[in-house]
Structure 1
Amino acid sequence: MSEPLLHLTERSLWDAARASGTFEISTRGRTLEEEGFIHCSLRRQLPAVAAMVYGSYTGPDDLVVLVIDPERLTAPVRFEAMSPGGEEFPHIYGPIETTAVVTVEPWDPQGTGG
């Protein structure tokens, strides 16, 4: 497996995806359809992404990290920067099949996700 892609999400959203077979949430409060892709990160990028996206999160759900095997995806993955010359993050341009998620880790904001 190449380096896994990570996606931080609410447990209830992951549970719903398991029931349907695909995960289609791009980022907190936005769907794949609205955004055009699903935001992901690499392990080293996750703490900063979590702080930015979920830093103020006080929802009822636990947060979980989806660990995705990019080789199991049918949608293309592109590494893109938010600004020219900036750090590149993986974006998945389609739904994530639940079979591409190899493990689900509880999010520990004091640690690195696992």
Structure 2
Amino acid sequence: MTIHHLARLHDWTRAVEDGEYRTSTLGLTLDEVGFIHASYAQQLAGTAERFYAEETGPLVVLDIDEAGLDVREEGGFPHVYGPIPVAAVERVVPARMTNGRLVTG
């Protein structure tokens, strides 16, 4: 199954250099939070509008293959316990927030 994570572009760029993604959300690390926030496809726009509405910088949507990851559904959302290997990211989609809404492509 594919899950999704909205990331700041600079966090993803660092992950590519390091070989794994370790940002939970909005500048908080996996070590600080204990897991990485993710969304199912139908939740992504709502997550972006709720938490990223004021983001002005470039974003990316990470499409993640959850096979081999410790993913637990909590509160209706997938949480990834542990770093996400860059190889588990199937697709990276450029994104931005425009007027409080997620725009991809």
**Deviation (angstroms), 1:12:** 1.1
Structure 2 match to 1:84:
none
Say whether residues 1:76 and 2:74 are aligned partners. no
Percent identity among equivalent residues? Answer: 42
The structure with the largest alpha-carbon Rg is: 1
Equivalenced residue count is 102
Give the 4+ runs in structure 1 shifted more than 6 A.
Answer: none
**Deviation (angstroms), 1:14:** 0.5
Higher strand share: 2
The CA distance in 2 between the partners of 1:10 and 1:112, in whole Å, is 14
The CA distance in 1 between the partners of 2:5 and 2:34, in whole Å, is 16
DSSP-derived class of the 1:107 partner: strand
Look up the equivalent residue of 2:41 and give its one-letter code.
R
Look up the equivalent residue of 1:104 and give its one-letter code.
V
Q: Specify which of 47, 50, 73 is matched with residue 48 of structure 2.
A: 50
Q: Alpha carbon RMSD of aligned pairs, Å?
A: 1.6
Structure 1's unaligned 5+ residue stretches are 82-87
The 5 A counterparts of 1:23-62 are 23-59=21-57, 62=58
- TM-score, normalization: structure 1? 0.82
The CA distance in 2 between the partners of 1:108 and 1:56, in whole Å, is 10
Q: Specify which of 90, 95, 99 is matched with residue 102 of structure 1.
A: 90
Look up the equivalent residue of 2:61 and give its one-letter code.
V
Structure 2's unaligned 5+ residue stretches are none
